[in-house]
A and B are shown apart, each in its own frame.
Chain A
Amino acid sequence: MKQIIRITVGLTVSCLIAALLMGSVFIVTDKAKKHNEHVNVQETMLGLLGYTKSHPAPPDLSLYTIYRYIITDGDTSTLGYVLPVRKEDGAGYRLMVMDLDGQFVNQYALDLMPDEASEPTGRANALKEVVKPPRTFVYADATILATLGQKRLAYLLPGEFPGFKTFIHVMLALDPSFEILGLEIMEHEEDPGLGAEIKQDYFKNQFKGKTFEKVKDLHVVKEPLPVEYKKYLETGRGKASPISEGELETIRNTYQDKDIYALTGATISSKAVTDGVKNMVAKFAYRINRLDSVISAQHIPVAF
């Protein structure tokens, strides 16, 4: 009996010490960690828009996030968009509800501060105020709109789709005509040396510059990547390029309308990314067009 008590006490004490240690380290580091993650996402987004440290973003560039929620009321579901409001109209956020056919239903003012809006719990608390039971809401996705002054510069879409093993998380940048500006792989678990090559410039940059019409009909071809094209894809912004400007232009024009060249030994991963991107672009174009028409019809003073 004495043994049992000693073992129990010993285990409890060691667990408590470990928990205390881990807990205190977590409290100390949590803020810095969140900050780092935030900076990382910001850098990726600016990088996709073509801004780097040596080529910083202009001061009138602003990023607005639109959150999409699915609101269900019994059998019917509607879409709720959390939209940032223009500064002249008091800033803040508004919830705009529309049905699945794109018809405007209602709009509500939200009691939401910008720093709360970036946190899921903050948004949920504000939404609970206006979406009363029996209606329930589920978070669907977020889109980031980049504007330069009054002009829309790009859309940034965080998204995920199934890869070879698990989900591939990406960030896709589209210009206002839905041409792809860039693709960044955020997280993935593809096989190193095979599927993991999707992270390499020579694969992901193939998507750059594909127009909306082309993306609709984008396929994967199992052909070796031409050497000059590979060189072109690997010349990033700011890096010394072995190819002259004129040649770059010719190569760009030659391969503009070509399909995606599959990675050697990783056709499934290549196909997964291509199909995923295709899907994301098609769905997004459909949604944003509907959203825009409702916003302009209802004269909602959105910030973008």
Chain B
Amino acid sequence: MPATTKTNFQLVSNGILNENPIFRLALSMCPAVGISTTVMNGIMLGIAVLFVQVFSSCTIAAIKNYIHPRIRIPTYTLTIATWVTVIDLVLAAYMPAAYKEMGIFVKLIVAFAIITMRLEIFACKNSVSSSFWDGIGMGLGFMFGMVALGFVRELLGMGTILGYDVLGVRPLLFFVLPAAGFFCVGIMMAMFNYMELVYNRKRRAKGI
């Protein structure tokens, strides 16, 4: 794949819609199913992924010419692990309040497929600035997916949004359990794909 010709805005929107990590690329499904039980979890994990993705993308884009192609995957993993450790330590030391909420999520990130895949597909072929915007787009897209899943699961499972009671009852406790994560991801993925289908059909009908 040659270097990208997209503008910065296209790179960001690409991450959120066309190549949404959860609904379009179907990557990083473990957290999508396991953690997305509340909106707050989604936001926290989203922020954590956003930071790690942006930092790792920029690092790899900056040093791409020095990486031996045979050892690129270990290098990516090392980069991600380093950034995760650094962010984890810095949060624990200087932002204890944020660490209390986000600590467990940050440590999970090392094994996320989406970050490695983005480094392999995008960052190692593009400039630092486009990698930065791509990282932002991917991070926001991931956060969007997690929050959307968390919204449905929290509302149906616990009757709350962000911890505030909105329904007053717990309609379907089942939605908080891990199995419901699969149902939610599946249904949302179908909706996402259907929307794209309709959108493209309209565009074709208009003859654009």
CB distance from A224 to the nearest CB of B (A): 12
CA distance A192 to B35 in the complex (A): 9
A36 contacts which of B82, B85, B92, B176 (Cβ < 8 Å)?
A: B92
Count class of interface residues, chain B: 20 to 34
Judged by a CB distance under 8 angstroms, whether B158 is at the interface is yes
Q: Does A240 sit within 8 A of B, measured CB to CB?
A: no
Interface of B, helix, strand, loop or mixed by DSSP = helix
Instruction: Give the distance in Å from the alpha carbon of A194 to the alpha carbon of B71 in the complex.
Output: 44
A33-B89, A33-B92 known; A18-B176 Cβ under 8 A: no
Q: By CB atoms of chain B within 10 A, which of A7, A11, A22, A265 has the most? A: A22
Interface residues in B158-195 (C-beta closer than 8 Å to A): 158, 170, 173, 176-177
Q: Which single residue of chain B is at the shortest CB-CB distance from A22?
A: B85
Known: A21-B86, A26-B89. A36 touches B96 (CB 8 A): yes
Contact call B81/A7, Cβ cutoff below 8 A: no
Q: Does B68 contact A (CB under 8 A)?
A: yes
Does the CB pair B71–A193 fall under 8 Å?
Answer: no
Instruction: Check if A25 sits within 8 Å of B176, measured CB to CB.
Output: no
User: What is the interface of chain B, defined by CB distance below 8 A to chain A?
Assistant: 37-38, 41, 67-68, 70-71, 74-75, 78-79, 81-82, 85-86, 89-90, 92-94, 96, 99-100, 154, 157-158, 170, 173, 176-177
- Residue of A10, A26, A39, A192 with most chain B CB atoms under a 10 A cut-off: A192
Contact of A21 among B74, B82, B90 (CB under 8 A): B82
Q: A14-B71, A26-B89 are in contact. Are A39 and B94 (CB under 8 A)?
A: no
Question: Which secondary structure characterizes the binding site on chain A?
Answer: helix
**Other A-B pairs beyond A7-B71, A29-B93, 19, CB < 8 Å:** A7-B68, A14-B75, A15-B78, A21-B82, A25-B86, A25-B90, A29-B90, A29-B94, A31-B93, A32-B94, A33-B89, A36-B93, A193-B38, A193-B154, A193-B157, A193-B158, A194-B176, A194-B177, A265-B173
The reply to whether B82 and A22 contact each other, CB–CB distance below 8 Å, is yes
| Given known A10-B71, A193-B158, A265-B173, contact A33–B93 (CB-CB < 8 A) | yes
A192 contact set on B, CB distance < 8 A? 37-38, 41, 176
Interface size class on chain A is 20 to 34
